[in-house]
């Protein structure tokens, strides 16, 4: 089975569960809720990206895709100061997601895939009076290039050719880590 099909199928339930637990899409998008969720993603990305970047071949791919600038921009737009952002709690459990290189491909799959649903989130946010100009950039970091970046991820992942079971386990562990961290 193709890796993309396999990862999608083996994480569909975890995706649905996280989406439901986050409960950020609603009739009246809640500023406080989004601030909390973005603070959580910040604590995840700081630890996770540092661990991912420790492998040169991952740094080369993921380095330019870092979403920390977007998180800082969005948190700033919602009123957090730089000092407050630096003091946010960190998700230490995220580091282990990079331990195994094949699992790490599955982990990157989850975060890159989140930019697809992110477009939908930003559409749901459009018009809320507290949302910064242009939307929350974390959810849709690539804008009109989302499809292109997603295809680029798959080209890279297929070239790395991870063991499918390991990649799937990495993706599932990533969803589980996010759910435990963001929805505690």
Is residue 38 a contact residue for ligand HEM (CB under 6 A)? Answer: no
| Pick 9 or 82: Cβ nearer ligand HEM | 9
Q: Are 53 and 44 in contact (CB under 8 A)?
A: no
- Quick count: other Cβ atoms within 10 Å of Cβ 58? 21
CA distance 9 to 113: 13
* Least Cβ distance, residue 179 to ligand HEM (angstroms): 9
* Least Cβ distance, residue 115 to ligand HEM (angstroms): 8
Per DSSP, the residues of 80-130 read --HHHHHTS---GGGGGGGSSHHHHHHHHHHHHHHHHHHHHHHHHHTT-TT
Q: Are 84 and 43 in contact (CB under 8 A)?
A: no
- Quick count: other Cβ atoms within 10 Å of Cβ 145? 11
* Least Cβ distance, residue 83 to ligand HEM (angstroms): 27
* Least Cβ distance, residue 67 to ligand HEM (angstroms): 10
Residues 64-123 that bind ligand HEM (CB under 6 A): 109-111, 113-114, 116-117, 120-121
Contact window for ligand HEM (CB under 6 A) among 18-26, 48-56, 58-66, 157-165:
18-26
Is residue 35 a contact residue for ligand HEM (CB under 6 A)? Answer: no
Tokens of 37: 């969720």
CA distance 86 to 18: 26
- Contact mark string toward ligand HEM, 142..181, x via CB under 6 A: ------------------------------------x---
**Residue 136: HSE in the Cβ half-sphere, 13 Å Cα cutoff:** 33
Is residue 25 a contact residue for ligand HEM (CB under 6 A)? Answer: yes
- Interface residue list for ligand HEM (CB under 6 A): 7-8, 15, 18-19, 22, 24-25, 109-111, 113-114, 116-117, 120-121, 178
């Amino acid at each position: 089975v193709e890796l993309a099909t396999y990862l999608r199928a083996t994480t569909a339930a975890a995706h649905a569960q996280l989406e439901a637990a986050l409960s950020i899409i609603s009739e009246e998008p809640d500023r406080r809720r989004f601030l909390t969720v973005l603070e959580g993603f910040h604590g995840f990305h700081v630890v996770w990206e540092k661990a991912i970047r420790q492998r040169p071949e991952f740094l080369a791919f993921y380095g330019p895709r870092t979403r920390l600038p977007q998180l800082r921009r969005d948190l700033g737009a919602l009123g957090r100061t730089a000092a407050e952002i630096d003091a946010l709690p960190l998700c230490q459990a995220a580091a282990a997601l990079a331990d195994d290189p094949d699992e790490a491909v599955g982990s990157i799959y989850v975060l890159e895939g989140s930019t697809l649903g992110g477009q939908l989130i930003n559409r749901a946010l459009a018009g809320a009076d507290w949302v910064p100009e242009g939307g929350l950039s974390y959810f849709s970091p690539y804008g009109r290039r989302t499809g292109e970046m997603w295809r680029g991820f798959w080209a890279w992942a297929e070239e790395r050719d991870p063991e499918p079971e390991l990649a799937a386990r990495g993706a599932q562990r990533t969803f589980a880590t996010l759910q435990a961290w963001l929805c505690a």
